[in-house]
């Protein structure tokens, strides 16, 4: 399926260093793919999958106990830059690669990558045949430590992957498609294509109904999680440092979440009315703790949550006292966010809190992993299992936080306070003044050969991540990040003396990029502060300095 040709016009994407727009999804970085009339007569080769036996899949779903909700199945493949698609060489030496993937009868397709590592300047777009929906650009900023990536479903039964690789980094990109999720339930359209809608069971209550008004923060904490054609529910959870560490609690049975897409604010704009967009998400997580007993999974998100998503980190209560009543926020059957209430105390059943019968609303498949809250709006457990549904009085079980506390305490109580309960954390009011974060590179090439750049803006109370290009320095290294109060704009032709921010051993990834982070203190007086950062790479006795970055600390 390999081919090579040239086109006469240069395709333009997005400026390096562009920040993501609040309105786009999954930390996309803007730009647009090449116009069709500029591609000449070269068509993208098409990988075609046959239709699925949907009736059999739906029968399997009906027979499955309540848990994760399946909306799609993986159509497996192993095609990428080196063994599929078509390459075109542009006049300036840049190269363009395209591959079309079609699966008959799909309502939407979601690509998943076993290898995803984009070099600086490379751009990836995904679009449907009509180009009415374009996702991207995805850039080196979307690279993950595990080298994997997934893109949320795009409506239609065919998509095209388009990858632009600058001549300066020719051959350094890694992009290998492991499969696409074939959506057979019309997840993107909320089942409208199958005659359903966005509400699930008739007793479900939208979070924007009046019943949700007292719990706006807790509603903001709840997120949907999709991976491999399945959806569950999860929630952000606070820790005693109140530092906005991006901790997420869900259920063990929902899967690994290592290559998952996390959906924020997936809810209807009104009470049983209005749209419910899924254009706010981040991708990828790192496992911190998990267990079958208690059915819990604690992960940390790898991409920075944009402030525009209005995230909230739930407080928690690990005590054993039985609360007077409880409520839950969740995504039943993959639907927009709902809220349910039990006006009675829960029972205890071994490692679990048991809600005997919901008084308002219910739960369904896809609600798994959702948080059970006490009357103070604090997390006490996550949904494991149960038979509750609209029209019955069956129970639901939630893994109780106090039964697996010893396995998560170092993350939820990093200060070792011994607290049995804490309040939630809302990052928004951390600082009243709004300051835009910025970073300007100086001497990025020539004098200092190792390129140093920021992976996300430096924000008060958040981890500031940076990356350094180690492609010219094979083997193991020691990385030192230095900072100084040098005036922004001061030329840096070599090393400068500064405060050591962090030191760590690092082995370059296959692409030759090392990533590091340092926590910016939760101190509002730092808003607008500027400093100069530079990295020093040690390989044995050899020292190599990077370019410098003029960094301005922002708020969110």
Q: Please name every residue paired with 51 in a beta bridge, in sequence order, or none if there are none.
A: none
pLDDT of res. 364: 93
> Token digits for 173?
């990109």
Instruction: Work out the average pLDDT over 302-307.
Output: 86
What are 41-56's pLDDT values in tens digits?
A: 788 999 999 999 999 9
Cα dihedral across residues 123, 127, 132, 133: positive or negative: negative
Contact 458, 464 (CB under 8 A): yes
Rounded to an integer, what distance in angstroms lies between the CA atom of residue 75 and that of residue 109? 10
Rounded to an integer, what distance in angstroms lies between the CA atom of residue 245 and that of residue 223? 16
Query: Coil, strand or helix: which one is 285?
Result: strand
Residue 249 DSSP code:
E
- Residue of 253, 310, 484, 517 with catalytic role: 253
Q: How many residues does the chain have?
A: 556
- Residue of 368, 395, 453, 466 with catalytic role: 368
> Is 196 among the catalytic positions?
no
Instruction: Work out the average pLDDT over 12-26.
Output: 31
Helices vs strands, H then E, count in the chain: 3, 37
Least confident segment among 159-168, 205-214, 302-311? 302-311
> Is 253 among the catalytic positions?
yes
* Closest C-alpha to 383, from 244, 494, 283, 251: 251
Query: Is pLDDT above 80 for 14?
Result: no
CB atoms within 10 A of CB 451: 20
- Residue of 295, 342, 374, 413 with catalytic role: 295
Rounded to an integer, what distance in angstroms lies between the CA atom of residue 290 and that of residue 77? 30
Least confident segment among 183-187, 362-366, 440-444? 440-444
What are 484-528's pLDDT values in tens digits?
A: 555 544 444 444 445 555 555 554 444 466 666 666 776 777 888
> Is 295 among the catalytic positions?
yes
HEC string of 3-40? Answer: CEEECCCCCCCCCCCCCCCCCCCCCCCCCCCCCHHHCC
**Mean pLDDT of all residues belonging to the chain:** 83
> Token digits for 547?
């370019």
Contact 162, 138 (CB under 8 A): no
**In 264-293, which positions are buried (b, 16+ CB within 10 angstroms) versus exposed (e)?**
bbbbbeeeeeeebebebbbbbbeebbbbee
Query: Coil, strand or helix: which one is 436?
Result: coil
Query: Is pLDDT above 80 for 238?
Result: yes
């Amino acid at each position: 399926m390999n081919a090579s040709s040239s086109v006469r016009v240069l395709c333009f994407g997005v400026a390096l260093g562009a920040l993501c727009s609040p309105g786009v999804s999954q930390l996309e970085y803007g730009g647009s793919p090449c116009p069709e009339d500029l591609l000449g007569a070269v068509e993208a080769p098409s990988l075609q999958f046959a239709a699925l036996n949907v009736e059999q899949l739906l029968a399997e779903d009906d027979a499955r106990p309540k848990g994760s909700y399946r909306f799609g199945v993986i159509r497996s493949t192993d095609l990428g830059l080196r063994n599929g698609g078509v390459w075109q060489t542009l006049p300036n030496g840049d190269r363009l690669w395209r591959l079309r993937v079609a699966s008959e009868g799909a309502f939407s397709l979601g690509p998943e990558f076993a290898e995803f590592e984009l070099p600086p300047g490379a751009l990836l777009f995904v679009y449907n045949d009509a180009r009415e929906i374009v996702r991207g650009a995805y850039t080196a900023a979307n690279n993950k430590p595990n080298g994997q990536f997934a893109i949320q479903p795009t409506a239609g039964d065919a998509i095209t992957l388009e990858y632009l690789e600058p001549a300066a980094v020719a051959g350094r990109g890694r992009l290998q498609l492991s499969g696409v999720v074939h959506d057979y339930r019309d997840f993107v359209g909320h089942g409208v294509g199958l005659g359903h809608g966005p509400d699930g069971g008739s007793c479900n209550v939208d979070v924007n109904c009046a019943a949700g008004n007292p719990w706006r923060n807790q509603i903001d904490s709840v997120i949907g999680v999709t991976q491999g054609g399945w959806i569950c529910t999860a929630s952000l959870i606070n820790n005693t440092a109140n530092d906005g560490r991006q901790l997420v609690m869900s259920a063990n049975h929902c899967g690994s979440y290592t290559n998952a897409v996390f959906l924020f604010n997936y809810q209807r704009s009104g009470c049983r009315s209005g749209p419910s967009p899924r254009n706010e998400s981040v991708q990828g997580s790192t496992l911190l703790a998990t267990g079958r007993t208690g059915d819990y999974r604690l992960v940390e998100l790898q991409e920075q949550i944009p402030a525009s998503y209005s995230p909230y980190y739930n407080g928690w209560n690990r005590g054993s006292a039985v609360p007077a009543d409880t409520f839950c926020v969740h995504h039943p059957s993959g639907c927009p966010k709902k809220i349910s209430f039990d006006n009675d105390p829960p029972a205890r059943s071994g490692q679990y809190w048991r809600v005997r019968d919901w008084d308002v609303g219910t739960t369904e498949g896809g609600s798994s992993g959702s948080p059970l809250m006490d009357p103070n709006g604090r997390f006490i457990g996550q949904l494991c299992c149960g038979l509750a549904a609209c029209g019955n009085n069956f129970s639901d079980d939630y893994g109780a936080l106090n039964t697996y506390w010893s396995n998560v305490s170092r993350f939820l109580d990093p200060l070792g306070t011994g607290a049995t309960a804490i309040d939630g954390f809302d990052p928004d009011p951390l600082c009243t003044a709004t300051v835009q974060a910025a970073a300007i590179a100086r001497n990025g090439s020539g004098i200092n050969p190792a390129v140093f750049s920021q992976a996300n803006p430096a924000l008060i109370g958040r981890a500031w991540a940076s990356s350094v290009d180690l492609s010219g320095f094979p083997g193991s290294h020691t990385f030192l990040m230095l900072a100084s109060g040098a005036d922004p704009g001061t030329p840096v032709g070599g090393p400068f003396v500064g405060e050591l921010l962090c030191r760590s051993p690092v082995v370059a990834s296959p692409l030759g990029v090392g990533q590091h982070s340092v926590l910016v203190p939760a101190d509002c007086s730092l808003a607008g502060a500027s400093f100069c950062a530079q990295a020093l790479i040690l390989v044995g006795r050899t020292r190599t300095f990077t370019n410098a970055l003029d960094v301005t600390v922002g708020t969110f």
